[in-house]
Structure 1
Amino acid sequence: MAKRTMTDRLFLVADIGGTNTRVALGSGDGVDLNSVRKFKNAEHADLETILRAYLDDAGAPALAATCIAMAGPVRDNLGTMTNLNWTIDARTIAPITGGPVTVLNDLPAQGYAIDILPETAFTPLRQGAENGGGSRLVVGLGTGFNISTVVETDAGPIATPAEAGHVSLPVETTEDLELATYLRAHFGFAALEDALSGRGLSNLHAWHSGSHSRLPSDTIMARLADGDADAAKAMASFARLLGIGVGNLALTVLPYGGIYLCGGMARAVAPHLMDNGFETAFQNKGRFGGLLKQFGISVINDDFAALHGCFAYLSQASA
């Protein structure tokens, strides 16, 4: 940790994904990147075990507050992970960390990070109109799919929670209907994240290839780089459906402050989106297609963005 003054408050921040949990300390101007540690979830019984180990290694520092970002719905500082059999409860964390504990969905955590990340943390996909700000839409593509809307207020930004990955898959063509029927047969319901996530890309590849087994998304991306035809079809479907989905969300939110894609899958597929129909699908909204041209789209390429967002949330809340 960097040297702290007596007036600096020390915060603990954590980001729980489906596979890994990242934990860090922050004070003063932000998260100390030297303090970040990554834990494999499969090797630990619960979050409390991880936090005890982290704080023991850090010398049991006195904490002013803690903020946890998790992939799953949160209510009253209590949430159950969507893709991991963990329940995150501020009441069981507080005795370990001391001080108040806030539990956020991971997409609002990404939203709170936008204002404090450097320009180098963003890769533009398309430019929007120069409009002086406004609401922002954060779209998370990782193990699952979700969004957050960031609204500006006099007290600072408020990033709202959602579970948008579980809305119905958009169906515009005969092929879309066939895909939805395929997903419904396998999962009981054709959800957006069944096509637009890491496992979504696996589903798309299995559907196009006629395979009964599902390849990991990183294997499909490697095959795409090697020119594999089924991988290319999966990516084309992914890009077009993502364009439709993000376009739908943009008309719902009107994000004049920009659209931000985040997560491991977002970073992986970003170089392939524009060449695979994303832009056309995004703007294909009839007489409102022109409105969508006003919304810029960028990719957040900082893997620690949720940690920075948790820190920003605590700093704003305790100001």
Structure 2
Amino acid sequence: MTVHFVLPGGVADPTSPSGGNAYDRRVVRELGGVREVVVPGPWPRPDAAARSALAAALAAVEDGSAVLLDGLVACGVPEVVVPHARRLRIAVLVHLPLADETGLPADVAARLDAAERECLRAAAAVIATSPAAARRLAAHHGLDRVHVVPPGTDPAPPAPGTDGASRLLCVASLTPRKGHDVLVRALAEVVDLPWTCAFVGPPPRSRRWSVRDLVDRHGLGPRVELTGPLTGAALDRAYAAADLFVLASRAETYGMVVTEALARGVPVVASSVPDALGDGGVLLPAGDVGAFADALRRWLTDPGWRHDLRERAARRRRELSTWDETAAGLAAVLATLRP
């Protein structure tokens, strides 16, 4: 069965890595029999040109065909997608509910939420990347079932780290949802201790949000390195040097960077990633500066606790699923779309 996979234009942009894009690229490679349909545009709030391109792409698909739509493309434009749901067998892959993006005006979030609900209710199948996300989508949008197909991980050698404690790593796009402001404020509370931290990720699109300004305002410029996005060997080196992985996200559907760290045995302190983290680290309340500062201080001063977190990470490393399993799970869902 050939599956038409409709993807946002950013999936092919190496300068804008994201968990959703990485997931999409990997399952295209693993599944086989996938026909990629890339639709550029400012998703999930497209301009007229992007809407027209999506409408044309769907219109070109033969009646009765199986179509997998990335939720970033599909969920904001039910007026484009829903009419085709009557003649195509559509599945929608939700990487992040649209209204969960931090910083949206209330009226914009409400419109995106309503649009997403209309789109998902019309789909033949809805897929989420974590059990928690699936439960939330089902309850919030009144869906009978949401399939769960979590991301996989690639085998990786254990990270040697730096000195066992002081090198911290955060891999995340520099956007408000990823909570760099929380992390910077927590780091400022442990400035009396030895540490450095690499912030790996693309810069924000909006000039109103500047992580560099936050870092400089708290006097952490010499100790926080903003590397920009890293891929391939450069990203591998960043993980290899890490003693502790930190992520202060306000919302995540899964959190692939967490399992990438755990695949290397790197301990994790994070928020909003219960399914990715499992028992492999410390899960903190989102937005809680004090909790992050306390965890960082304990990590930097308590050798016994560091040993315990490394043991947890090592156990979780052995439990992580593979991309083969992800592809098999997605193929099983897509098979239900057969007429």
Category of TM-score, reference length = shorter chain: 0.3 to 0.5
Determine which structure has the larger strand proportion and give its number.
1
The TM-score, its normalising length taken from structure 2, stands at 0.38
Higher relative contact order (CA 8 A, sep 6+): 1
